[in-house]
Homo-oligomer: A and B are copies of this chain.
């Protein structure tokens, strides 16, 4: 568990606008900086934290890509989210003062460690920080509602379309191409997140490709027809309703 103590330097971080410092003055950012002064590097496949681990800090992703998942006693598991640079990990742990899911790096990554007690202290002094932290937690709740909608009401291809559009949008917000990106997770992990089996995910990818909506080459995705993907989402009528040829 290598913890590299490096200056975090929020003030020089290009993720300011996505991360906790959002909206703070320079002076306030410097105070936050001293608090989040430790970073931690993780190799691909390594855990940032595990279910049951005592909760002490939340983490801001500086570089890399993570998944969070929950395990049932009988071995079933559910990926609850994929997180990328600028997003906050660990808020699940506040409630019981122990983490309630696992966070795993899907590529070599680096996080800023933000000791929670100190964050609470500082946020009671800096109104903007307090408000922003509450927004970050609330955003997580809203995101979860979106996933419930996806899992509760959508068909396989709708789920995958929603997933791809969401990734695309988040990559865009980080200055990457919205049309072309590299998936860091396996088909099985996508399936777990979307409530599908890996074969179903694979078939949906193939079908989207055959329809000219996307280009797929293993983990490399190109979005060719983003409007078409959106149309998959808002299917008004049940799939391809059989249309009676004439009055029966």
Contacts and interface: CB of A to CB of B under 8 A. Distances in A.
Interface of A: 70, 72-74, 76-78, 80, 91-96, 100-101, 120, 123-125, 127, 130-131, 134-142, 144-149, 151-153, 192-195, 234-236
B151 A195 contact: yes
A138 B236 contact: no
Contacts of A72: 149, 153, 234
Given A91-B141, A95-B141, A142-B92, A148 B149 contact: no
Copies in the complex: 2
B140 A141 contact: yes
Contacts of A145: 70, 78, 80, 92, 100-101, 144
Nearest to A134: B94
Contact of A93 (B95, B138, B195): B138
B135 A235 contact: no
A246 to B, nearest CB: 29
A145 B148 CA distance: 9
A4 to B, nearest CB: 28
A80 B236 CA distance: 22
Interface-central residue, A91, A95, A125, by most chain B CB under 10 Å: A95
Contacts of A138: 91-95, 137
Most buried by B among A94, A120, A136: A94
Contacts of A141: 91-92, 95, 137, 140-141, 144
